[in-house]
Amino acid sequence: MRFTIFTTGLVAAIMSETVYGASCVRSQAVWGIVGYAINAQGVDDVPKVCGDLWSNLRRFHDCIGVGVPSCEKRGNNELVWNFSNGSGCNMGMVESTWWEATQNRYGAIKCEIQY
């Protein structure tokens, strides 16, 4: 009986936690330029997080030359961050920027190359 009550309580606690997802896609390099598309759900203060993302991206000299920048709220607290850069701005730098700006509160990102 105890096991059932404990298990039921544990399952209810786990299911009540909000789980956020974040993703990162990098386009294949064309003429040395790559594009990044990062999406995250459940972002409570999108303008602040966007500011933190741009600020943290500047830590990397290879990521300073941002082209076509956008970071905005879409739908119900969805953050959409897009930009292009030279191929020297690598996926690890973008993943580090995300972690520094969010501490993965909205999920960790692992950038994948889109072919």
Residue pair 69/89 in contact by the 8 Å Cβ criterion: no
Q: 81: helix, coil or strand?
A: strand
CA distances from residue 102 to 31, 35, 57, 107 in whole angstroms, order as listed: 31, 21, 13, 9
* pLDDT for the residue 18: 52
Is the pLDDT reported for residue 110 higher than 50? yes
Q: List pLDDT tens digits, range 72-106.
A: 999 999 999 999 999 999 999 999 999 999 999 99
Which residue segments constitute the domains of the chain, with CATH numbers given?
A: 19-114 (3.30.70)
Residue pair 67/83 in contact by the 8 Å Cβ criterion: yes
Q: List pLDDT tens digits, range 17-45.
A: 455 789 999 999 999 999 999 999 999 99
Euclidean distance between CA atoms 57 and 81, whole angstroms: 12
pTM of the predicted model as reported, rounded to 2 decimal places: 0.82
Those residues whose C-beta lies under 8 Å from the C-beta of residue 114, and which sit 6 or more positions away, are: 25, 26, 27, 28
The total of other beta-carbon atoms located within 10 Å of residue 42's CB is 16
